[in-house]
Structure formats: C-alpha cells, structure tokens
Amino acid sequence: MTENTEENNQNSLTLVKNGQPDTLLNHVEISVSESERRANGSLNIRDYYTVYLVEVKVTDPEYHSKLGKLTTVWRRYTEFEQLRDYLDVTYPYVILPPLPEKRVMFGWQKISSDTFDPNFIDRRRAGLENFLLRIAAHPVLTWDEHFIEFLQQEEGWRESYKANGYLQLVESKLKSLSLAVRLKKTDPKIEEYKQYGITLHNNLNNLLKARSRVAEKQYTVHKLHANYGRVFSEWSVIEKEMGDALQKTGHYFDSLASSIDASLEDEELLADQLKEYLFFAISLQNVCRNYEILQLQLEDAEENVANKNVERTRVQQGKTGLISRLFGAVDTEEVREFKVNQLDQQIEEGAVVVNNTKESLSEFSAKALSDIEMFQHQKLLDLRETLASYAFLQLKTARKGLNTWIQIRDCLQNTLQ
C-alpha cells in the first residue's frame, strides 16, 4: 500500500503549473476555521477534548467533480498526529511539517498553561491549519490519497488508518529510531545536515528561552507603570493648579501599562513561527536518522555475506570447529558438498539483499538531499520574514512608549509654564 501511494505521488509530479510541480493548493483552499470543546463519558466522569473544523473549498471548476465543492470534517489533535505518523512512515526522506505544540512551551507569566485556554486553542488552531497548508504545498505529500481522505472523510479515514496497519508500522519505526546506530561509513552531506539540525534546534531553543524571559520582564515593567497612574490620579485630587495635568499624566501611565498586552499577543504569534522551525529541526534530524538506519541495514547485509563467504571457504577446505575436533566428528564429502551448496544459495540471496539495499539507499539519499535543499530555501524565506517582523514589532512598541512619554512631558511642561 505504501509503495503504491508513493508511486502515485511520483507520477503526479509530472503535472506542472507555471513551471512548478502542481499541488493541491492550486485547486482548493484549506482552512481550520474553528474549534469546539466536547466531552466523553458519563455525567460523573467526563473526558473533555477539543475538535477542529477542517474546511476544504474547491476553487478550480475542473476539480468540483473529483473533490466536491465544499467539504467539512471535525478532527481531534490526535488524528492530526496519526496523519503525521502515517506520512513519517510512508515518506521517510521528507522533512515533514511539524504539528503545533500540544502543551505550552516557553511559558511565562501572561501565558496560561491550561490546554483549554481560548488563546492557546486559537493559536493551536492556526498551527494545525499551517500544518495542512504545508503538506498541501509540498510537491510529494500533496497528492497522497490518505491525506486527501483526511480532508474529506470524517469516519472513513479513521477506519482506513487502522485497517492498513500503519499503527504497527509507526510503533516499529519509533523503536528503530530509539536504537543507537554505529556506522562504519557515513555520507558526509547527510552527517553535515544532521549536525546542522542539532545546532539549529539548540539555537532556536535558546532564542525562545531568552525571548520568554525578556517578555516576562517587559510585561512586569509595563504593568508596574499602573502604580504611577494610580499615584498621579490620587495626587491630582489635592492639587488645584496642577490637578488636570496630574490626572492626564495618570491616564497616560495607565495607557502605557495596558499597551503591552496587544504587543505581546502579536509577539506570541511570531514565537509560534520560531517554534515551528524548532520542530522542523527535529524533522531534519529524523530524515538523517532514517538514512543511518538504511545504511546500517546495508552494512549488516554486507557483513552477513562476508561471514557466509568465510564459512564457505572453511567448509570447502574441510576445516571444522573446536567441538567437532574434540569429539572426532568429521564431515563426509557429501555433507561438505551439501553445506557448500547451501552456503552458495545463502550468499546469492544475501548479494541480492545487498544490491537492493544499495539501490534503496542511493534513491533515499537523492530524494532526501533534494527535499533538504527545498527545506533550506523555504526556511531562509520564513525565518528572515519572522525575525524582521519581530524587529518591526519591537520598534512599534518602543515608538508607542516614546510617544506616551512625550505626551507626559508636554503635559507637565505646559502646567509649569
């Protein structure tokens, strides 16, 4: 099933639009438009969970008959996880788009750790939409039949996922990823990208930690200005000539204290974009890890053939093991010939495995390096935009603060004149 799916997707790459591989986004609009809280269980013991409404609207008239004009399905976060797990097994050479965080990471005072917090749910909704859009924009993943089923079939997709045994494949994949791999030979490019993925993850992790600490201090400092506002408002009551100016000053300080809320909400959206590439770095490492597992299979297959050749030579020369010599057991000519023929067959079968694994490894390497190159290009565009937006947001916040202080200064100076 997996091989057929991948082959169908490769065939779809021949479809080209405006010089680029045709993708699903050329024909439909995908959105995760809303969320809803639901409950399982009895009245006494209830298990609450959140579902998200996935909407697919066909914009290409030629695709109306294939996909229908509009489809809507409700999906839980766990189903998005299942979709990603399936894609991970089916396309091990692709740097898969990550899911948004399931629980709050890099939290600080204003950010609630409650997974049912409306702001957190809405940010996760936006992240899930971005996850689907990235899959739909990927030249390989876009036409995957199970992905399209995920967008259209609310019940049928769940049954298909279970029936095709992908759950067992995912569990097997997770076990293999947890094993330590010691290779005799590595691909320098793959190793370079693996180390890059580790470094990128560390850098973004440290950046997000520093950003959360700065946001915490910014929030605290701005909110402390509300104390100024209260003091100036109370002071204005006892001053006749300066009363109005002091009261206005108090209002300006209140405005300064409250202005940080909207700014940090916008900043949190930019932090989510950085988190996406934090998780992308893990996806990159996983692709390199998948290559290592395939390389290990090749080395094991080659070692198996080499051991069989050594054993064949020993049998052919009539050499026996220590136990056989101790007990005086010596193989007859017929037994030796049988063993040699048996080993010849095993060596031949092993050579086929080696050749097949070499071809798989070569194909994997070519596909992985192509996808990594595409990822690097997109990463450059996205991170450049995110970091520039962050700098612009800080300038905007600073200008607001500067304008407020100028108004406070002018208000007090006019009173003294």
Burial label, 82 (beta-carbon count in 10 A; 0-12, 13-18, 19+): buried
Burial 364-388 (b: 16+ CB within 10 A, else e): bbebbbebbeebeebbeeebeebee
pLDDT at residue 162 greater than cutoff 90: no
Rounded to an integer, what distance in angstroms lies between the CA atom of residue 281 and that of residue 85? Answer: 17
Alpha helices in 237-320 (DSSP H): 243-316
Q: Which residues contact 307 (CB under 8 A, 6 or more apart)?
A: none
Rounded to an integer, what distance in angstroms lies between the CA atom of residue 406 and that of residue 417? Answer: 17
Q: Which residues contact 295 (CB under 8 A, 6 or more apart)?
A: 183, 185, 186, 187, 361
Token pair for 303: 């070692």
Please name the residue that has the structure tokens 């010939």: 337
Annotate 306-348 with DSSP letters as a single string: HHHHHHHHHHHTT---HHHHHTT----HHHHHHHHHHHHHHHH
Segment 194-209, tens digit of pLDDT: 999 999 999 999 999 9
User: End-to-end alpha-carbon separation of the chain, Å?
Assistant: 84
Q: Which residues contact 402 (CB under 8 A, 6 or more apart)?
A: none
Going by C-alpha positions, the residue among 9, 178, 147, 130 that lies closest to residue 82 is: 147
Q: Is the dihedral of CA 30, 35, 36, 41 positive or negative?
A: positive
For the entire predicted model, the pTM comes to 0.84
The pLDDT of residue 11: 47
pLDDT band at 177 (very low <50, low <70, confident <90, very high): low
Rounded to an integer, what distance in angstroms lies between the CA atom of residue 372 and that of residue 3? Answer: 22
Segment 95-124, tens digit of pLDDT: 999 999 888 777 766 666 677 788 889 999
Rounded to an integer, what distance in angstroms lies between the CA atom of residue 371 and that of residue 278? Answer: 18
Q: Which domains does the chain have, with CATH numbers?
A: 1-178 (3.30.1520.10), 190-417 (1.20.1270.60)
Segment 55-86, tens digit of pLDDT: 999 888 777 666 666 788 999 999 999 999 99
Rounded to an integer, what distance in angstroms lies between the CA atom of residue 289 and that of residue 297? Answer: 13
Going by C-alpha positions, the residue among 183, 378, 373 that lies closest to residue 291 is: 183
Segment 18-39, tens digit of pLDDT: 567 888 998 899 999 999 888 8
Cβ proximity of 411 and 244 under 8 Å: no
Cβ proximity of 415 and 241 under 8 Å: yes
- Classified as helix, coil or strand, 110 is coil
The pLDDT of residue 12: 45
DSSP 20: E
Rounded to an integer, what distance in angstroms lies between the CA atom of residue 251 and that of residue 273? Answer: 35
Task: Report, as an integer, the average pLDDT of 42-60.
Answer: 82
